[in-house]
Structure 1
Amino acid sequence: MGLLDRFRVGRGASRSVARTGASEVSALADWARARRGVEAFIEPRTTVTDVTAVLVASDGEWTRRIVGEKGARRLAGALKIPVYDVNRTGYPQRMRDFDARRRIEARRAREAELGD
């Protein structure tokens, strides 16, 4: 059984749902393998989205995908990374720091364009 086989949607689900779920999980797995110190944070279902998984690398870079709670926990187990409930732990400071650095870099780039 391959790494992503266990995430495939079972009977009764449409093929498009299965493909979407598998592609989301595949994207997260690829992302996690390309970075160091990755942890998973499970976000609760909202009125707009199902349960999502946020993967955060050691430098604070992050990505988010809709995979459902079971899919997120299986992914974390398969990748052997820690998984946390964001309602209990909150988001890591390094994630907020990463976003702040990106905003500063974007502002400086806009200012440099205007200054030329």
Structure 2
Amino acid sequence: MGLLDRFRSGATRGASARRTGSGDGGDARYLAEWVRTHVGVEGYIEPKTTVTDVTVVLIAADGEWTRRIVGERGAQRLAKDLRIPVYDVGRTGYPQRMRDYDARKRIERQRAFEEDLREL
């Protein structure tokens, strides 16, 4: 494959491995496992941008979240396949529990960093 062939095909490095509709189904399995191991999961579909295809953010009841590229067809199948509620983030926004989770994680990282500094 030539240097420019990758760009002509429309694929970027790693994008095919992250797309739920990819041949190996790795992301589909990952998302299904994530839903199975977390409580109260909801999906939030993010629109295509100039940088990424359509993505989904899965958010658990405690605010923990994960994001994957699913593409337009993958987004349409998501709710049915995973049996979870799925929302358009452009209409609903992100839930407060996601922001609260991120804030808690930032505090935990800062405390761990400060503890590491004290040990030096």
TM-score by length of 2: 0.78
CA distance in 2, matches of 1:73, 1:34: 22
Tell me which residue corresponds to 1:85. 88
Give the paired residue count.
100
User: Share of identical aligned residues, percent?
Assistant: 63
Letter aligned with residue 97 of structure 1: D
Large movers: runs of 4+ above 3 Å: none
Are 1:114 and 2:117 matched, yes or no? yes
What's the CA shift for 1:59? Answer: 0.3
Q: Gapped runs of 5+ residues in structure 1? A: 1-15
CA distance in 1, matches of 2:34, 2:75: 14
What's the CA shift for 1:39? Answer: 0.2
> Pick from 101, 104, 114: which aligns with 1:101?
104
Asked if the contact 1:73/1:83 (under 8 Å) is kept, the reply is: no
Tell me which residue corresponds to 1:55. 58
TM-score by length of 1: 0.80
Specify the structure having the higher radius of gyration (Cα): 2
Greater mean deviation of Cα atoms: 75-84 or 47-56: 75-84
Q: Gapped runs of 5+ residues in structure 2? A: 1-14, 17-21
Asked if the contact 1:56/1:95 (under 8 Å) is kept, the reply is: yes
CA RMSD, Structure 1 to Structure 2 (Å): 1.5
What's the CA shift for 1:75? Answer: 2.1
What's the CA shift for 1:109? Answer: 0.1
